[in-house]
């Protein structure tokens, strides 16, 4: 039911005709949708939990894509140009719209897309409780152990991170969350749109590295959390947090620790043994399985 | 007595027609001037603060003189974004605002709806400044026309009135 509500909220950024076509699909189908993909000149398809694409019989034009972005930005591309440089737009409710097309570049940075070729509407759907099975393995003597959640894109790292933060809050553990893209808590006028529990302090809209340092200085968190470590500043802030005795909880793209260790940016985290637990996510059929590993 | 009253009414009506034409030239010049000022303000807002389109329209809806009703309509139309593109909302606001402008000036203004909100702040400010320069050229024409044809319209009205009176008598 929650996923259907999330789907209905997410598709509100689509032009009326496309939206109605999607909402006319059976609820049973909608409840499995995780992404909606639109490709100019081709069509629209819905991606379910298995990663398979199910086409929706309706042609999509380049103008449909432009209108979607117009709706998503309330006709204000200028106010999201920073986010556009990352190739996606965060939407209210934690959903996000990925963009593809002919980019206009200035000083090496994406300014806007001259023409859009495809869009990917990722539906955020919090799954309260998914972290409950994992959390006991991440605790030791009542203390949360620094944990890295590792999985390829679209496997549910952010969903697990959000639920772990929520569960930590319920256990009375204060978390400082650097939510650069607003995907974890999705702050709207200061209030999280997605449940991150009662004790999460959230910084969003600024680079993760700066956000983490700000949290460390200003909010004295017991756990520092960040989604998707991609920049050396994120790594250095997490290392600094760990050195101050704060547990860290972070996610990274990758399918194995070995793959991650080859990536230069994350190397210091592994070399300094910042994490003592590793959670990997594997998909079996439509179900996700979480595996916790102790790191020496 | 009735003849005199009739003559006065006919002359007055023709004079009024000429006078209102002159007023139309004045309103047109003022409207173009207010749009030019509004666009200049919008350029500054866009390039300095990358202000959201709705906030931009809201700013213009209270401080743009004769262009205010247009911007108010545009702002109100933002509620319809779900059903129609912004360029259409802009065009609808233009047609509904009954601005004292020529067709080509309205067409020029209509271009604004196809550039606002589509690019980054600096690019929009640049495109808006090009549009403003074209509007300023229209404003120059409008000034010239008001100067040359405003008085002529009044004189023509008065002359037409007197001629009509003479013919009727």
Out of A9-13, B65-69, B80-84, B122-126, pick the least confident: B80-84
Counting DSSP H helices and E strands in chain B, the numbers are 6, 0
Rounded to whole angstroms, the Cα distance separating A5 from A7 reads 5
Minimal Cβ distance to A74: which of B52, B85, B118: B52
- Taking residues B76-93, report their average pLDDT: 92
**B118/B90 Cα distance (integer angstroms):** 14
Nearest CA among B4, B5, B21, B1 for reference residue B145: B21
Per-residue pLDDT of chain A (296 residues; tens, 9 = 90+): 578 888 999 999 999 999 999 999 998 888 889 899 999 999 899 998 777 888 888 899 999 999 999 999 999 988 887 778 778 888 887 788 999 999 888 888 887 888 899 999 999 878 889 999 999 999 999 899 999 999 988 788 999 999 999 999 999 999 999 998 788 888 877 888 889 999 999 998 788 889 999 999 999 999 999 998 888 888 988 898 888 889 999 999 988 888 888 877 888 888 888 999 999 998 876 678 899 999 87
Q: Give which of B116, B117, B120 to mutate to test A binding, by max A Cβ within 10 Å.
A: B120
**Chain B contact for A114 (CB, 8 A cutoff):** no
d(CA A223, CA A138): 12
pLDDT (mean) for B93-97: 93
pLDDT band at B127 (very low <50, low <70, confident <90, very high): very high
pLDDT of residue A151: 92
On the question of pLDDT at B40 being above 80, the answer is yes
* Residue B158 exposed, middle or buried by CB count within 10 Å (0-12, 13-18, 19+): middle
Selection from A25, A5, A22, A2 nearest residue A14 by Cα:
A22
Paired with A224 in beta bridges are: A176, A248
Strands A53-56 and A88-90 turn out to be unpaired
Give residue limits of the domains in chain A: 2-122, 135-294
β pairing state of A143-144 and A139-140: antiparallel
Q: For residue A1, what pLDDT is reported?
A: 58
The mean pLDDT of B41-65, rounded to a whole number, is 92
Dihedral angle over CA of A10, A11, A13, A18, nearest 10: 170
- The whole-number pLDDT of residue A286 equals 67
Q: Which CATH number fits domain A135-294: 3.40.1010.20, 3.40.50.300, 3.30.1360.30, 3.40.190.10?
A: 3.40.50.300
CB of A132 within 8 Å of any CB in chain B? no
What is the rounded CA–CA span in Å between residue A143 and residue A134? 14
Distance CA A185, CA A158 (A): 10
- Whether the CB of A20 is below 8 Å from some CB of chain B: the reply is no
**Partners of residue A56 on adjacent β-strands:** A44
Structure tokens at B87: 């360029």
- Residue A46 and residue A35 in contact, taking contact as beta carbons nearer than 8 Å: yes
Domain A2-122 has CATH 3.10.20.600: no
Phi, psi (deg, nearest 5) at residue B110 = -60, -25
- Count Cα atoms within 13 angstroms, Cβ side, for B76: 12
- The stretches of A219-256 forming alpha helices (DSSP H) are 232-243
State residue A126's pLDDT score. 80
Q: Is A8 on the interface with B (CB under 8 A)?
A: no
Q: Do A70 and B54 touch (CB under 8 A)?
A: no
Interface check A102 vs B, CB under 8 A = no
Q: Please name which of A118, A95, A101, A96 lies closest in space to residue A44, comparing C-alpha atoms.
A: A118
- Report which of A113, A107, A106 is spatially closest to residue A89, judged by C-alpha positions: A113
Report CB contact under 8 Å: B119, A71: no
CA distance A128 to A134: 13
ipTM for the predicted complex comes to 0.78
Q: Which of A66, A75, A104 sits opposite B81 (nearest CB)?
A: A75
Instruction: Report pLDDT for A203.
Output: 94
pTM to 2 decimal places: 0.75
B28 neighbors B66 (Cβ within 8 angstroms)? no
A70 touches chain B (CB under 8 A): yes
Backbone angles phi, psi at A54, to 5 degrees: -110, 115
pLDDT on residue A18: 92
């Amino acid at each position: 039911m929650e996923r259907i509500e999330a789907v209905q909220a997410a598709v509100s950024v689509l032009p009326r005709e496309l939206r109605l076509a999607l909402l006319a699909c059976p609820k049973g189908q909608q409840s499995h949708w995780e992404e909606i993909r639109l490709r100019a000149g081709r069509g629209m398809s819905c991606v379910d939990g298995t990663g398979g694409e199910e086409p929706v019989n309706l042609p999509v034009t380049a103008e449909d894509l432009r209108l979607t972005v117009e709706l998503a930005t309330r006709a204000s591309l200028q106010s999201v140009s920073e986010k556009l440089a990352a190739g996606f737009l965060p939407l209210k409710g934690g959903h996000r719209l990925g963009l593809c097309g002919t980019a206009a570049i200035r000083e090496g940075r994406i300014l806007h897309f001259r023409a859009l070729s495809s869009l990917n509407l990722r539906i955020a759907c919090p799954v309260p409780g998914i972290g409950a099975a994992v959390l006991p393995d991440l605790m030791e003597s009542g203390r949360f152990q620094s944990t890295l959640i590792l999985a390829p894109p679209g496997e549910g790292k952010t969903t697990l991170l959000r639920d772990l933060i929520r569960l930590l809050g319920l256990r009375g553990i204060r978390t400082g969350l650097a939510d650069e893209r607003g995907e974890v808590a999705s702050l709207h006028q200061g209030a999280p749109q997605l449940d991150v529990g009662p004790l999460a302090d959230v910084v969003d809209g600024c680079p993760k590295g700066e956000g983490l340092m700000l949290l460390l200085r200003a909010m004295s968190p017991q756990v520092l959390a960040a989604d998707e470590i991609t920049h050396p500043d994120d790594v250095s802030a997490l290392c600094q947090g760990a050195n101050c005795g704060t547990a860290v909880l972070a996610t990274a793209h990758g399918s194995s620790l070995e793959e991650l260790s080859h990536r230069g940016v994350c190397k210091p985290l592994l070399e300094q043994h910042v994490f003592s637990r590793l959670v990997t996510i594997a998909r079996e059929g439509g179900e996700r399985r979480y595996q916790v590993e102790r790191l020496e | 007595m009735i003849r005199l009253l009739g003559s006065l009414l006919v002359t007055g009506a023709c004079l009024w027609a000429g006078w209102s034409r002159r007023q139309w030239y004045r309103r047109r010049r003022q409207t173009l001037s207010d749009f030019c000022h509004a666009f200049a303000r919008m350029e500054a807002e866009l390039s300095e603060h990358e202000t959201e389109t709705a906030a931009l329209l809201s700013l213009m809806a209270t401080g743009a003189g004769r262009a205010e009703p247009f911007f108010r309509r545009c702002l109100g139309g933002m509620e319809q974004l779900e059903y129609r593109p912004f360029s259409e909302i802009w065009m609808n606001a233009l047609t509904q605002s009954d601005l004292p402008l020529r067709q080509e000036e309205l067409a020029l203004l209509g271009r604004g709806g196809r550039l606002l909100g589509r690019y980054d702040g600096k690019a929009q400010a640049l495109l808006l400044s090009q549009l403003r320069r074209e509007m300023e050229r229209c404003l120059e024409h409008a000034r010239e026309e008001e100067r040359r044809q405003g008085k002529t319209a009044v004189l023509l009205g008065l002359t037409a009135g007197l001629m009509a009176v003479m013919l009727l008598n």
